[in-house]
Amino acid sequence: MHVRQIAIFLENNPGRLADISHTLAVSNINIRALSLADTADFGILRLVVNDTDKAQKVLKEQGFTVGTTDVLAVEVPDKPGGLDSILQVVRTAALNVEYMYAFTKKSGETGILLFRFDDLAGAEQIFRAAKLKVLDGEEVHNL
Work out the pLDDT band at 140, boundaries 50, 70, 90: confident
Rounded Cα gap, residues 51 and 134, in angstroms? 20
Work out the pLDDT band at 10, boundaries 50, 70, 90: confident
Q: Which CATH class is domain 3-70?
A: alpha beta
User: Which of 39, 47, 98, 42 is CA-nearest to residue 68?
Assistant: 47
Cβ atoms < 10 Å from Cβ of 28:
10
The domains spanning 3-70 and 71-141 adopt the same CATH topology: no
Q: What is the pLDDT of residue 76?
A: 93
Residue 83 has pLDDT above 90, yes or no: yes
User: Which of 79, 76, 56, 83 is CA-nearest to residue 67?
Assistant: 56
Percent of the chain with pLDDT over 70: 99
Ordered by start, the domain boundaries in the chain are 3-70, 71-141
Residue 106 has pLDDT above 90, yes or no: no
Q: What is the pLDDT of residue 50?
A: 94
CA angle 55, 56, 60 (to 5 degrees): 115
Q: What is the pLDDT of residue 64?
A: 94
User: In one letter, which amino acid is 88?
Assistant: Q
Work out the pLDDT band at 15, boundaries 50, 70, 90: confident
pLDDT (tens digit per residue) in 28-82? 999 999 999 887 778 899 999 999 999 999 999 999 999 999 999 999 998 999 9
Give the orientation angle of helix 52-61 with respect to helix 16-26, to 10 degrees: 120
Q: What is the pLDDT of residue 1?
A: 67
CB 72 within 8 A of CB 96: no
Q: Collapse the DSSP code of 142 into the 3-class scheme (helix H, G, I; strand E, B; otherwise coil) and give the result.
A: coil
Q: Collapse the DSSP code of 132 into the 3-class scheme (helix H, G, I; strand E, B; otherwise coil) and give the result.
A: coil
Pick the CATH number of 71-141 from 3.40.50.11390, 3.40.50.10860, 3.30.70.260, 3.40.640.10: 3.30.70.260
